């Protein structure tokens, strides 16, 4: 098995191998660090949610009436990421 130039989002180990694709056709990776509890992950999935432009898109889509499920599917991020972004935004606007 060849290792790829990807780091595990949890333990930051480079012992990561390609592990097929997700149902959406995205590359899935597996962490080979035996001490790490993160088994498989999607690179895009784990990184996209933290980009400022994605955060902006979450807000825009929500204001346009998109639900959390739609937003996460269209942007290719987790529903939890969408929810936590919206929570952060709500907290800010209340102050
Ligand atoms: Zn790991």
Per-position DSSP letters for 23-84, written without gaps between them: TTS-EEEEE--TT----EEEHHHHHHTTSHHHHHHHHHHHHTT--HHHHHHHHT--HHHHHH
**Same domain, yes or no, for 78 and 55?**
yes
Each of the 95 residues of the chain gets a pLDDT tens digit; together they read: 455 567 887 788 888 888 898 887 888 889 998 888 878 888 754 455 467 788 889 999 999 999 999 999 888 888 888 998 889 887 776 65
What does the alpha-carbon distance between residue 64 and residue 85 come to, in Å, rounded to a whole number? Answer: 16
Q: What predicted TM-score, i.e. pTM, was given to this entire model?
A: 0.46
Are residues 27 and 14 part of one domain? yes
Measure 29 CA to ligand 1 centroid, in angstroms: 10
Question: Do residues 39 and 55 share a domain?
Answer: no
Q: Are residues 40 and 55 in the same domain?
A: no
Domain shared by 40 and 59, yes or no: no
Residues 33 and 52 in one domain: no
Which residue range is the domain that position 57 belongs to? Answer: 48-94
Q: How far is the CA of 32 from the centre of ligand 1 (A)?
A: 7
How far is ligand 1, taken at its centre, from the CA of residue 27, in Å?
A: 16
**Count of domains observed in the chain:** 2
Q: What is the tens place of the pLDDT at every residue in 24-44? A: 788 888 999 888 887 888 875
Provide the pLDDT for residue 67: 96
- Ligand 1 centroid – CA 89 distance (Å): 30
């Amino acid at each position: 098995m060849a290792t790829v130039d990807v780091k595990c989002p949890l333990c930051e180990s480079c012992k990561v191998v390609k592990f097929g694709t997700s149902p959406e056709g995205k590359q899935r990776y597996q962490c080979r660090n035996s001490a790490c509890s993160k088994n498989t992950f999607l690179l895009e999935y784990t990184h996209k949610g933290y980009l400022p432009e994605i955060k902006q898109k979450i807000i825009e889509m929500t204001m346009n009436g998109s639900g959390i499920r739609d937003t996460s599917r269209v942007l290719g991020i987790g529903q939890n990421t969408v929810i936590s972004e919206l929570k952060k935004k709500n907290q800010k606007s209340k102050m």
